[in-house]
Amino acid sequence: MIGVGAPHAPRGPLAHPRLGSVSGVKILLRNPRRELDVPGPMSVVALLQKLDLNRESVLVIRADTIVPGDAMLAADDTIEIRPVISGGAA
């Protein structure tokens, strides 16, 4: 959770992490780790646009399942967004 005065705290409409818990999609972002609430329902594509994230560079996960870009997120969903990591031996 982002503390008061944290050096990488988000600004703008996503600046308040779960204070008093307004109804919305709970988002856990990785690297750096932070939690946000956004109003829902909304599509994965709309959420990623709102967060200024490229769909090809992240995985959206709900209940241990990868969520496709055209899926709708319910207002009470909890999702995790992780960066895509590739590599390995050639």
Assign residue 77 the CATH number of its domain.
Answer: 3.10.20.30
Please check the confidence at residue 17 and state whether its pLDDT lies above 70.
Answer: no
User: What pLDDT digit, counting tens, does each position of 34-48 carry?
Assistant: 999 999 899 999 999
User: Is 3 a domain residue?
Assistant: no
Residue 87 binned pLDDT confidence (cut-offs 50, 70, 90):
confident
Closest CA to 80 of 56, 58, 57: 58
Q: Is residue 73 part of a domain?
A: yes
Number of compact structural domains in the chain: 1
pTM of the predicted model over 0.95: no
CA 70 to chain centre: 15
What does pLDDT average to over the chain? 78
Residues 60-87, mean pLDDT to the nearest whole number: 92
Single out the residue of 57, 82, 55 nearest to residue 71, CA to CA.
Answer: 55
Give residue 58's domain range: 23-83
58 lies in a domain? yes
